[in-house]
Structure 1
Amino acid sequence: MSNTRSLTDLEQTDAFLRRHIGPDDAEQQSMLETLGVESLDALISETVPNSILRKDLLNLPGPRTEAEALGYLKGVASKNQIFTSCIGMGYHGTLTPNVILRNVLENPGWYTAYTPYQPEIAQGRLEALLNFQQLSIDLTGMELASASLLDEATAAAEAMALAKRQAKSKSNLFFIDHDCHPQTISVVRTRAEAFGFEVVLDDVRKLGEYEVFGALFQYPNTWGEITDLKPLIDAVHAQNGLACIAADLLSLVLLTPPGELGADVVFGSAQRFGVPMGYGGPHAAYFATRDAYKRAMPGRIIGVSVDTRGNRALRMALQTREQHIRREKANSNICTAQVLLANIASFYAVYHGPEGLKTIAERVHRLTAILASGLEGKGFKRQNEHFFDTLTLDVGGRAGEIVERARAARINLRLVDETTLGVSLDETSSRATVEQLLAVFAGDGQASDIEALDRQVSAAAIGIPEALRRQSAFLTHPVFNSYHSETEMLRYIKSLENKDLALNHAMIPLGSCTMKLNATAEMIPITWPEFGQLHPFAPLAQAEGYKVMIDELEAALREITGFDAICMQPNSGAQGEYAGLLAIRKFHESNGDEHRNVCLIPTSAHGTNPASAMMASMRVVLVSCDDNGNVDIADLKQKAEDNADNLSCLMITYPSTHGVYEEGIREICQIIHQHGGQVYMDGANLNAQVGLTRPADIGADVSHMNLHKTFCIPHGGGGPGMGPIGVKAHLAPYVANHPVVPLDGPDPENGAVSAAPWGSASILPISWTYVALMGAEGLRRATEVAILNANYLAKRLGQAYPVLYSGRNGRVAHECIIDIRPLKAASGITEEDVAKRLMDFGFHAPTMSFPVPGTLMIEPTESESKAELDRFIDAMLTIRGEISRVEQGEWTVEQSPPHNAPHTLADITGEWDRPYSRQEAVFPQSWVAANKFWPSVNRIDNVYGDRNLFCACPPIEAYEA
């Protein structure tokens, strides 16, 4: 019999599916035998309720090879036209240093890491984020900064919310300078409407006519004007309000910091510090404020603490502000920051240092001054007297023809109206750029004498007022003055990377966080210039490639979820929740049901849900769960009936955060609809639905999709993320629109929820590529294997640890919760001890104490092999054996390996007086030695860090010591 394989068989060997799915066919069969089922189909039928299980495949194109997918997408990307962008408005061309591009943005050691909740194995990115905070503090002149927010516009909305919380004013009115960026104004108005705040948009000269709790000013403003903010800030303070300043970060190198002028909050985008425009994102926002407001500040704060040896160690400080702890009382949804991009911006500042940044800023400013002089000489009147990098020009009704000439020269200007144009320069601008612009405006085709204009500017005052020129030093810390050669910078980046555990080292089994493979082929397109160098407000005709890619991804997501429309704007899962609830709210208002404001939330829901409901001004009513972790349907019915007149919606996570497919999910949705409410299905666990069932078919009206979970965008150390929402047809008119780039479909009157029309568009190619590589059959198989892996773990670990919840036939969904509380009661060993001990085996801990205190929630995903699952199981069983030795009195809690974990090189090279050996401490299984990950610090003292909050780089004296 011939062993010759057919062409079809040979073509299958290039299938991406076998590289995405961890266990091969033989391993899957072995795992199924452990579970006592014959096939994957049999397991799925035992696990997923038959009432929602799809029998047919999704209607999607077949899978493509990596070469086919990338070849096609390259062709799509080529439809984008890369013009020189002079649009400005908060987005600028920048040069990403290649040492940062290759070793951070394109490096899985940086982009596959998770939020640093386990700081002992995250000291590298925590240091990079601390540098980002120091950068923000130094340039703004403020006392305290966070480790990034989503974008400048949403940071403005957070600033308004902080002002309301902290201001002594009794007013409900927030003032916005009408010279702020239009996208910022829109996002702030959207948030204010949801919160029930009043907003006035007016000229700053009329500020005194209003009584306000806060005010928002832009510095320099959207037209490029540089205004002395001090009188405005004083006027706000006179009313017991807070002054919030949106500031261009590069301009602060040359301008007086807002903090020195009395500002209360300063924020903005760090995009131009080495992060490509990417058609809108992802970009890190910075946020700085007064120390007095630290407990009200949104976003994560990195603080300096100590470990058990008294050594300096970093951690996320003041975590009790976060939504999974405070729920509806949280300051904001801070579940997604923009860590990867904040790291890039901080490395950009480290690499260039203060002198390098000053050179870049002065060069941009000087080119702008030369352009201003040249345009004045050609008869164009400048509307802004002062400037840093932006000129607004009166062109006397000639705007259209000048814009056309500019486009013929492949330059985009800001078209304001028939008589007004804006032009902004940036780091990528050159003499040639200025020459081109002067020729475009004059229309005479004559070259300008740049040298003569430069001499002319030298003899004249340039754009920054003398009183507003920066006098204070910045970035004086050694970290910003030590790594300016590529060799030193490369080694610094690598030294930090070595301190962090990411997916390129081991499984990260975090429940609800879906840390799955971010395949290299999926990541490649994000650094293509065709995707990276577009301004988000570029003419749509220049972004045809983006339109094709986004339209195709939206079509796939509609098929995968069953929804009628997709809104791509939310740039995180938390933003998606917020956007979805706003759509529900607007829908009710359109029906005259403004009073419907009650949001039912089961205690098994995702942790961001109550905070999102609060942001939409909804009243949260919690619904109980039964002993099996399911929604208590009797309690749901009662609360739906009790609140029927005011019921807005139910927020439910499916499968539940308890790791269970609830059999009654259809009935749950029907109950809500019967009482006039809408169903918001949290998409956190969509990885357990794709191909098997669809939220819209189950009964959901709206759901967000965590593209950084189910659809393979990497977590990036705590961001980037994307959280587009799917909605049924009746909600489609009520999703976000945009003031600068109006979107087809939503009501034109709808405000924005994020700064850019399509959110963080530059990372959408990752999810597009994942769907293209997997195809319908692959997507279903991924879900099935995720369920297989989770049940295999639950089965094997269940012999040693209680599995808290399970569904029909004792099966779990894509994740499971193991209960440490009985072991803690018997031995004194805590869930934190288990989490830290896993570090000694080279693993990141599962999700700790969420959603149930004293537990660990484990999600292996479909991407982990049986060998990796078995190593994790071995580690957990070894730890269980150590707990048994404590239970039996062989060790005290204080003497045990879990209690002293993680163990570092300092432990085993110093004095040793513990009852277990050094070998047991650091090589608890033989396989650990082959790929040992060494935590760089011992267990960190969280209480000390919060009681002695310090959130900047250590003083120079510490380095000298």
Structure 2
Amino acid sequence: MSYSKLRNFHEAQWDEPIIFEQSVPGSRGILLPDVSGEAGVSSGKGLLPTTLRRTQKPALPEMAQPQVLRHYLRLSQETIGQDINIDIGLGTCTMKYSPKINEQFVRSPKFAELHPYQEDDTVQGILKIIYEFEQIMKEISGLDAVSFQAGGGGQGIFANAAVLKQYFRDRGEETQRNQIITTILSHPLNGAAPATKGFEVISLYPDDSGYPSLENLKAVVSEKTAGIFITNPEDTGVFNPIVRQFVDVVHEAGGLCVCDMADYNGLFGLVRAKELGADMCHFNLHKAFSSPHGCMGPGCAAQCVSAELEKYLPRPRVRFDGQRYYTDYDGPSSIGKVRQFQGSLAAVLRAYSWVMSLGRDGLKAVGETAILNNNYMMKRLLGEVRGITMPWAEEAPNRLEQVRYSFEKLLEETGVGAEHVNRHMLDFGFQRFFPSHHPLVVPEPYTPEPTESYSKDDIDEYISALKKISDEAYTTPEIVLTAPHNGPISPLEKDTVDSVDQLAVTWRAYQRQHGGR
């Protein structure tokens, strides 16, 4: 069997100063006509209160158009992204191809120039898409109502925690039911978001199976239990096969189940939140549903709830009276807004287009292909790449859409750890991989996710790079330890950055560090 060869990659190396350093006083990209003094033209000062007016002009760079164009094109040549790179390494982020036709839809003036304060009768098209996509997400989740207002997974979990709080407040149980159960391998926000709503969080630890035992859950469930927030599959790729029993235990105690479906890419057409027993869940449209990744910004979480909880969803909601679509602000029990207007509609439009192009059978093929790709990659990595192991939950060998591997053996035998491998991957044209977030139960972690977007050749090429790096670690480790070599930026020396305070993240901070104003 032959595998793809590695490409001869070398990133652009422009000695490119930051744009403020290239500023030339008096340079302009465009000369605007002077309209001061003309009839009907005012300075606009009266439109802003004094407290919001600048006391001096902003210190913006002054450059002509060609220089601006060159600057940003050069920077773009030093940027690795999905369109030019194989992003398998960014596990849990579900980096996949976003069809360019969907980008044309969101960039069309018909959509891009919509204003959120337009009258409903002038935006029937986008309201129809919001309404229809809610019906689609109801089918995908099995639940009864959907809001697209949350700007990402974190806000989606927060919004579900807010609904949970309001639900028990209405029942007169807010004081009694003040505990949330989660697991340490559920996404950290499944504990953090309920905590911000005042809940006490109880975290369950897994056993050798990779998920907590039913006995451990029963030991902490009580009349204080408001609900369980659980990610399934977890970010390690382990699916909890007894999750329905977990939910039943919580339901019997009077609590609700909130299921984090952010890692949904391997479940399309195979598992729904309803059959898991969830009362609420959220999906990330900017991950599994192809809209480019952008948590808390251009991202969007589809918050799905049961019929009993619909009245608590954020407002406004989009309704259809049989003839026209309209926004409904009425909802005395609503948790209110969690984001401006209807949320990030660009993500909704992309996701709607993606789902409509695939249909029911296509979505199932997405899940099946993601699982197949992941298990093919797992078999090759563990069988062919020296120094990689899968130490977590060995009693549960099956993984869905991703795996959390370990480079601990490589580190012990060669002195080369996960971060060294990570930097060296840049030399082969791959983006840095995602190691792990809290909790760090896997030493020297590495979490790839080969979604359905990647071909067998893509996966083979990615594995070839890891095999090459592993071979170098055992024969010439200095090559790996001093990487990257083919990128525009060399690794920082340990002695040069002692604290975050020395990192300049703004122009003003940079000037202060270098003796400027």
TM superposition score category, shorter chain reference: 0.7 to 0.9
1:618 maps to 2:172: no
- Is residue 558–residue 565 contact of structure 1 (8 Å, CA) maintained in 2? yes
Q: 1:597 to 1:848 in 2, by over 3 A?
A: same
**1:674 shift after superposition:** 1.5
**1:565 shift after superposition:** 0.4
**1:545 shift after superposition:** 0.4
Residue in structure 1 matched with residue 375 of structure 2 by the alignment: 791
1:585 maps to 2:165: yes
**1:534 shift after superposition:** 1.6
Q: 1:462 to 1:688 in 2, by over 3 A?
A: closer
Q: Give 1:850's match in structure 2, choosing from 432, 437, 448.
A: 437
- Is residue 571–residue 724 contact of structure 1 (8 Å, CA) maintained in 2? no
Residue in structure 1 matched with residue 466 of structure 2 by the alignment: 876
Q: Distance in 1 between matches of 2:24 and 2:369?
A: 44
SS in 2 for 1:864: coil
Residue in structure 2 matched with residue 815 of structure 1 by the alignment: 402
Q: Distance in 1 between matches of 2:11 and 2:220?
A: 44
Q: Give 1:834's match in structure 2, choosing from 392, 397, 421.
A: 421
Amino acid at match of 1:939: P
Q: Distance in 1 between matches of 2:39 and 2:94?
A: 60
- Is residue 312–residue 334 contact of structure 2 (8 Å, CA) maintained in 1? no
Amino acid at match of 1:598: Q
Q: Distance in 1 between matches of 2:303 and 2:51?
A: 48
- The C-alpha deviation readout for 1:564-604, integer Å capped at 9, x for no partner, is 00011111111111111111111111111112221111011
- Is residue 651–residue 680 contact of structure 1 (8 Å, CA) maintained in 2? yes
Q: Give 1:638's match in structure 2, choosing from 219, 226, 235.
A: 219
Q: 1:352 to 1:844 in 2, by over 3 A?
A: farther
**1:807 shift after superposition:** 7.8
What aligned pairs does 1:670-819 form with structure 2 within 5 A after superposition?
Answer: 670-715=248-293, 719-738=297-316, 743=328, 746-747=331-332, 750-756=335-341, 758-799=342-383, 800=386, 801-805=388-392, 810-819=397-406
Amino acid at match of 2:469: I
- The C-alpha deviation readout for 1:437-482, integer Å capped at 9, x for no partner, is xxxxxxxxxxxxxx5555xx69x99666889864424225xxx212
- The C-alpha deviation readout for 1:217-252, integer Å capped at 9, x for no partner, is xxxxxxxxxxxxxxxxxxxxxxxxxxxxxxxxxxxx
**1:949 shift after superposition:** 3.8
1:491 maps to 2:76: no
Residue in structure 1 matched with residue 7 of structure 2 by the alignment: none
Residue in structure 2 matched with residue 530 of structure 1 by the alignment: 110
Tell me whether 808-817 or 674-683 shows the greater mean CA deviation: 808-817
- Is residue 655–residue 685 contact of structure 1 (8 Å, CA) maintained in 2? yes
Q: 1:754 to 1:939 in 2, by over 3 A?
A: same
Amino acid at match of 2:377: L
Q: Distance in 2 between matches of 1:787 and 1:353?
A: 58
Residue in structure 1 matched with residue 139 of structure 2 by the alignment: 559
**1:123 shift after superposition:** 11
**1:524 shift after superposition:** 1.1
1:660 maps to 2:212: no
Q: Distance in 2 between matches of 1:526 and 1:512?
A: 25
Q: Distance in 2 between matches of 1:712 and 1:123?
A: 31
Q: Give 1:896's match in structure 2, choosing from 478, 481, 490.
A: 478
Q: Distance in 1 between matches of 2:431 and 2:453?
A: 16
- The C-alpha deviation readout for 1:877-896, integer Å capped at 9, x for no partner, is 222222333xxxxx5xxx52
- The C-alpha deviation readout for 1:514-565, integer Å capped at 9, x for no partner, is 0011111121100111211121121111111011111111111111111100
Q: Distance in 1 between matches of 2:136 and 2:50?
A: 56
Paired residues, what number? Answer: 489
SS in 2 for 1:825: helix
Q: Of Structure 1 and Structure 2, which has the larger fraction of its residues in helix?
A: 1
SS in 1 for 2:258: strand
**1:494 shift after superposition:** 0.9
TM-score, normalisation: structure 1: 0.47
Q: Of the two, which has the highest radius of gyration?
A: 1
Amino acid at match of 2:483: A
Q: Give 1:669's match in structure 2, choosing from 234, 247, 267.
A: 247
Instruction: Please provide the CA RMSD for this pair.
Output: 3.7
- Is residue 661–residue 807 contact of structure 1 (8 Å, CA) maintained in 2? no
Q: Distance in 2 between matches of 1:464 and 1:626?
A: 60
SS in 2 for 1:566: strand
What aligned pairs does 1:353-372 form with structure 2 within 5 A after superposition?
Answer: none
Q: Give 1:519's match in structure 2, choosing from 72, 93, 99.
A: 99
SS in 1 for 2:203: strand
**1:840 shift after superposition:** 1.2
Tell me whether 848-857 or 788-797 shows the greater mean CA deviation: 848-857
- The C-alpha deviation readout for 1:783-824, integer Å capped at 9, x for no partner, is 000000000011110123212346887321100111112322
Q: Distance in 2 between matches of 1:678 and 1:718?
A: 26
Q: 1:854 to 1:471 in 2, by over 3 A?
A: same
Q: Distance in 2 between matches of 1:122 and 1:580?
A: 45
- Is residue 484–residue 491 contact of structure 2 (8 Å, CA) maintained in 1? yes
- Is residue 599–residue 648 contact of structure 1 (8 Å, CA) maintained in 2? yes
Q: Distance in 2 between matches of 1:537 and 1:652?
A: 37
Q: Percent identity?
A: 27
Q: Give 1:867's match in structure 2, choosing from 457, 476, 481.
A: 457
TM-score, normalisation: structure 2: 0.85
Q: Distance in 1 between matches of 2:40 and 2:471?
A: 78
- Is residue 316–residue 329 contact of structure 2 (8 Å, CA) maintained in 1? no
Amino acid at match of 2:367: T
Q: 1:463 to 1:798 in 2, by over 3 A?
A: closer
Q: 1:351 to 1:586 in 2, by over 3 A?
A: farther
Q: Distance in 1 between matches of 2:12 and 2:315?
A: 38
Gaps of 5+ in 2: 4-9, 319-325
- Is residue 733–residue 745 contact of structure 1 (8 Å, CA) maintained in 2? no
SS in 2 for 1:679: strand
**1:647 shift after superposition:** 1.0
**1:720 shift after superposition:** 1.8
Q: Give 1:952's match in structure 2, choosing from 493, 506, 509.
A: 506
Amino acid at match of 1:901: A
**1:951 shift after superposition:** 2.5
Q: Distance in 2 between matches of 1:713 and 1:786?
A: 17
SS in 2 for 1:692: coil
- Is residue 604–residue 631 contact of structure 1 (8 Å, CA) maintained in 2? no
1:544 maps to 2:134: no
**1:354 shift after superposition:** 10
Q: Distance in 2 between matches of 1:699 and 1:726?
A: 13
- Is residue 153–residue 295 contact of structure 2 (8 Å, CA) maintained in 1? no
- Is residue 250–residue 257 contact of structure 2 (8 Å, CA) maintained in 1? yes
Q: Distance in 2 between matches of 1:616 and 1:507?
A: 39
Q: Distance in 1 between matches of 2:13 and 2:431?
A: 13
Amino acid at match of 1:612: A
- Is residue 314–residue 337 contact of structure 2 (8 Å, CA) maintained in 1? yes
Amino acid at match of 1:535: H
What aligned pairs does 1:115-130 form with structure 2 within 5 A after superposition?
Answer: none
Residue in structure 2 matched with residue 340 of structure 1 by the alignment: none
Gaps of 5+ in 1: 1-26, 31-119, 135-311, 313-349, 371-450, 886-890, 905-934
- Is residue 314–residue 334 contact of structure 2 (8 Å, CA) maintained in 1? no
Q: Distance in 2 between matches of 1:941 and 1:461?
A: 50
What aligned pairs does 1:277-292 form with structure 2 within 5 A after superposition?
Answer: none
Q: Distance in 1 between matches of 2:370 and 2:407?
A: 24
